[in-house]
Amino acid sequence: MKRRKQLILLVSICLVLLVTLPMLTSCGNSKSEENVVTIGAPVDFTGSSSASGQLVYEGIQAVEEYFSQQGGITINGQKYSVKFTAEDTKSTADGSVAAVKKLVNDDGLKIIVGQSTPYQISAANTITGPAKVINGVMYNTMTPGELGPDFPYTFLIGGGGAVDAVTGLLTYGGNNYKDIKTVTIIIPDDGQIPYMEPVVKKIAEAQGWTVLDTIGWATSTVDFTPIAQKALAKNPDAIAMTTGWPGMIGSILQLVRQAGFEGLVMGTNPAEDILAVAGAEASTNYIGIGDTPTDPNLPAKAKEFGQIVQNKFGHCLFYNLWACNAYYTIVGIVEGAQSTDPTAIKNYWENAQAIDSIWGTCPMGGLETYGVRHDVIMPVPICGLTNGQATFLSWQEITVP
Amino acid sequence: METVISSLSSALVLSSMYILVSLGFALLLSIMGILNFAHGAIYMVAGYICYQFSVELGLNQWISLILSVVIVGLFGLFLEKFCFRPFLKDWFRAVVMTIAVTLIIETTVNVTVGVYTRQLPLFIPGVFKAGAISVSAERILTFIAGGVLLLLLTWFIRKAKMGQQMLAIAQNSEGAAFQGIDINRVSAIACVMGCALAAIAGCLMGALFQLSPYAGDSMLLKAIQIVILSGIGSFGGIVFAGLIIGFIDAILPLLTSGAITQTVGVGIIIVLLLVRPQGFFGREV
């Protein structure tokens, strides 16, 4: 009986400590957090995207280190240090909701940057929207629930939205391949076709091209032979793939080349990745999007971050710089707004004439495309494959109306 | 005509790989009664092991394939002894164990090499052309390899003593034990064979398509569909069901678009199961 009472007393003390200690520590923290800008970062630490998620997190750490070295930022004459709080999204919509809930509801953060898939963005918007929290998304595929007037606090910050990417790709193709008259478009059928197809058609037609066909493919497709066959069925001069991953784009490039197609193939993945899949023999007359961190053409700020990442982690890949860009840009926006209040940031951001990124100074746009002027329009790096060799071609300036 | 030939080649390649993977899956299910959810991960990791040997270490690609098959096959021994045998009488724990193995393998590959784009070099480069028709030599090889392995496996199960023992266990494990068949030994060999078959398919497919840490998930789904469609316990039915599903996956995208393809494909399978719930060659319950 005595032992039982002692046990109950011990458990009770532990429970009390468990409940009160976090409150005591948070009291201490709130004082030291007065001059800290904390930005939430939902990251794919686990799940299907964890490999790239880890690289994104490395980019976040590089940006934190950069601003630490700079002494932070200045808001209304006060110095603020910059911190990022990352939460695992598990690469799923449910995980994104849980991560964003933790960041917004539990941690009280007012700025979130990170989602890059349509289902994650839509899921996160259900939390950030009502809470009026800035939600900086790193990609976009035009599906409802991602970006638009219904989400006044959601902005596209990654410079890698599908519309931006396709605009850059097709504009470069139109400027440099004057013999193209017809094109077949290939779009993943994950819900984006009804929204992306009209936009892509418009961009293609702006180059003077006729769109012969739009082909959708299921994201679980293993063998792209039927897709390649359909793409070639109407004898296009060129094939444009709006979104995809190297396995898909590389497979289609290989298959159309095996079928004897010699026309231009456009895809939204870096040349080296496509080369690894398609093989040297098929890797020709391809233009894609991407830049290697070691490219001497990189803008100065991007090179600087590339060096930070390289020194810190022993490598620097595309996803590292992609993350550095997004998180560097948001900090600059906060400083530009001279406020940590989301509404003040939102008002500043959507009315800004130019935004500083690691790729340079970028205009805002997207009012006609998305219904809100919430797209940071960044130049698109165009790379190419010629006779099995990958090369960087050019930075393509774009406009997204 | 060109489209027909391309579709036929695609269908035959897919079918042969589906059949290879499904046979390995079915071996374990029939003999040990275990739904091996790790089968897809085994298929996937074999491709990466082959890549390590052939590209990173510079070994001959065929030798790399053999090494990969041997390593994965031996892993099958480990699986049988430590992951399956202790849980033979507890189906749920066995399934949880296979899921755990899947997660460990997939996460390990994802964290270490998942971010890099990888594809195995072709085992046979080149394109076979006849007029306007062109088929890659790799696809022809994949189909032939699948066919040869299938014939060998069929001969093994029907003619070899060990194969007969496997059939006996699949039909009635208690009766087989009474006949003096060493269940554990036969199960271990079946596991090795199943993993080896998945490994061969993984390496061949890894040369045709991109290596991906989660490539095994879709292949596992196909294996389950094929085994159910053929009828649990029927090895011959797997060939038939594998051909059906391979042709559906190759031909349907030509007729429909995008995600509808997957829906229609699964719909066809459901209809077939409604007509014959035990599968084409399964026994009535």
Summarised one tens digit per residue, pLDDT across range A125-145 is: 999 999 999 999 998 888 888
CA distance A367 to A13: 58
Three-class secondary structure of residue A215 per DSSP: strand
Are A175 and A280 in the same domain? yes
CA distance A371 to A146: 12
Q: Which residue of chain A has the CA closest to B132?
A: A259
CA distance A101 to A86: 12
Contact A201, A193 (CB under 8 A): no
pLDDT digits (tens, 9 = 90+) for A206-248: 999 999 999 998 887 888 988 999 999 999 999 999 988 888 8
Query: Whose CA is closest to A390, among A315, A251, A295?
Result: A295
Residue A259 pLDDT greater than 90, yes or no? no
> Tell me, what's the pLDDT at A261?
94
Are A148 and A193 in the same domain? no
Q: What is the mean pLDDT of residues B229-258?
A: 84
Q: What is the CATH number of the domain that holds A139?
A: 3.40.50.2300
| CB contact B251 to A (< 8 Å) | yes
Query: Whose CA is closest to B84, among B75, B71, B72, B97?
Result: B97
Number of Cβ within a 10 Å radius of residue B224: 17
CB pairs < 8 Å spanning A and B: 113
From A166-180, B94-108, B134-148, the region with the lowest mean pLDDT: B134-148
Predicted TM-score of the model (pTM): 0.84
A52–B115 CB contact, under 8 Å: yes
Number of Cβ within a 10 Å radius of residue B256: 17
What's the angle, vertex CA A356, arms to CA A355 and CA A359, rounded to 5? 120
CA distance B31 to B176: 11
Q: What is the mean pLDDT of residues A193-199?
A: 92
Are A96 and A190 in the same domain? no
Q: What is the mean pLDDT of residues B171-188?
A: 87
In this complex, the residue of A217, A227, A277 whose CB is nearest that of residue B117 is A277
When pLDDT is cut at 50, 70 and 90, the band that residue B267 belongs to is: confident
A217–B258 CB contact, under 8 Å: yes
Are A85 and A179 in the same domain? no
Contact B112, B52 (CB under 8 A): no
Copy the structure tokens of residue B124: 């046979």
When pLDDT is cut at 50, 70 and 90, the band that residue A21 belongs to is: low
A205-223: b (≥16 Cβ within 10 Å) or e: eebebebbebbbbbeebbb
Q: What is the percent of chain B with per-residue pLDDT over 70, rounded to a whole number?
A: 98
CA distance A205 to A215: 17
| CB contact B258 to A (< 8 Å) | yes
In this complex, the residue of A216, A219, A225 whose CB is nearest that of residue B6 is A225
Q: What is the DSSP letter of B189?
A: H
- The domains of chain B are located at 2-216
CA distance B195 to B175: 26
In a domain, A53, yes or no: yes
Query: Whose CA is closest to A142, among A221, A98, A195?
Result: A195
Residue B33 pLDDT greater than 60, yes or no? yes
In this complex, the residue of B9, B118, B259 whose CB is nearest that of residue A189 is B259
Residue B285 pLDDT greater than 80, yes or no? no
CA distance B203 to B64: 9
Q: Mean of the per-residue pLDDT values for chain A?
A: 90
The backbone torsions φ and ψ at residue A36, rounded to the nearest 5 degrees and listed phi first, read: -130, 130
Task: Calculate the alpha carbon distances from A247 to A223, A224, A274, A292, B149 in Å.
Answer: 10, 10, 8, 19, 27
Query: Whose CA is closest to B199, among B120, B99, B126?
Result: B120
Query: In terms of C-beta density within 10 A (0-12 exposed, 13-18 middle, 19 or more buried), how is residue A253 classed?
Result: buried
Residue B157 pLDDT greater than 70, yes or no? yes
Three-class secondary structure of residue B235 per DSSP: coil
A50–B114 CB contact, under 8 Å: yes
Contact B67, B49 (CB under 8 A): yes
Show residues of chain A in contact with B14, CB under 8 Å: 222-223
Residue B153 pLDDT greater than 90, yes or no? no
Contact A232, A204 (CB under 8 A): no
Distance of CA B70 to the CA centre of its chain: 16
Per DSSP, helices labelled H in A71-111 are 93-101
Instruction: Count H helices and E strands in chain A, helices first.
Output: 13, 16
Show residues of chain A in contact with B122, CB under 8 Å: 279
Are A241 and A320 in the same domain? no
| CB contact B9 to A (< 8 Å) | yes
In a domain, A17, yes or no: no
In a domain, A96, yes or no: yes
Task: Calculate the alpha carbon distances from B255 to A226, B102, B266 in Å.
Answer: 9, 34, 15
CA R_g for chain B: 19
When pLDDT is cut at 50, 70 and 90, the band that residue A86 belongs to is: very high
> Tell me, what's the pLDDT at B166?
85
| CB contact B3 to A (< 8 Å) | yes
The answer for B 67-126 residues in CB contact with A (under 8 A) is 107, 110-111, 113-115, 117-119, 121-122, 125
Domain range enclosing A236: 163-292+383-396
Are A154 and A253 in the same domain? no
Are A262 and A387 in the same domain? yes
In a domain, A18, yes or no: no
Copy the structure tokens of residue A30: 């709130």
In a domain, A24, yes or no: no
Are A354 and A222 in the same domain? no
Instruction: Calculate how close chain A gets to B112, using CA atoms only, in Å.
Output: 8
Are A54 and A147 in the same domain? yes
Long-range contacts, A218-221 (Cβ 8 Å, 24+): A218/A188, A218/A189, A218/B253, A218/B258, A218/B259, A218/B260, A218/B261, A218/B262, A219/A188, A219/A189, A219/A190, A219/B259, A220/B218, A220/B262, A221/A248, A221/B253, A221/B261
Instruction: Calculate how close chain B gets to A226, using CA atoms only, in Å.
Output: 6
Show residues of chain B in contact with A251, CB under 8 Å: 209-210
Query: Whose CA is closest to A202, among A142, A122, A269?
Result: A142
Residue with tokens 């468990």: A18
**Mutation to test the B interface, candidates A43, A190, A196, A223, most B Cβ within 10 Å:** A223
Instruction: Count H helices and E strands in chain B, helices first.
Output: 11, 2
Q: Kind and range of the H or E element at A389?
A: strand A389-396
* Kind of pairing between the strands at B133-136 and B127-130: antiparallel
B134–A217 CB contact, under 8 Å: no
Question: How many domains does chain A divide into?
Answer: 2
Q: What is the mean pLDDT of residues B213-236?
A: 86
B210–A219 CB contact, under 8 Å: no
Are A91 and A135 in the same domain? yes
Q: What is the DSSP letter of B122?
A: P
Q: Which residues contact B82 (CB under 8 A, 6 or more apart)?
A: none
Query: In terms of C-beta density within 10 A (0-12 exposed, 13-18 middle, 19 or more buried), how is residue A16 classed?
Result: exposed
Three-class secondary structure of residue A269 per DSSP: coil
Angle between helices A50-70 and A300-313 (to 10 degrees): 110
> Tell me, what's the pLDDT at B73?
94
Q: What is the number of alpha carbons within 13 Å of residue B102 lying toward its C-beta?
A: 21
Q: What is the DSSP letter of B179?
A: T
B115–A55 CB contact, under 8 Å: yes
A247–B122 CB contact, under 8 Å: no
Q: Which residues contact B283 (CB under 8 A, 6 or more apart)?
A: B231, B233
Q: What is the DSSP letter of B56?
A: I
ipTM of the complex: 0.82
Copy the structure tokens of residue B60: 């001959």
Residue A158 pLDDT greater than 90, yes or no? no
Are A180 and A302 in the same domain? no
> Tell me, what's the pLDDT at B132?
67
Are A390 and A249 in the same domain? yes
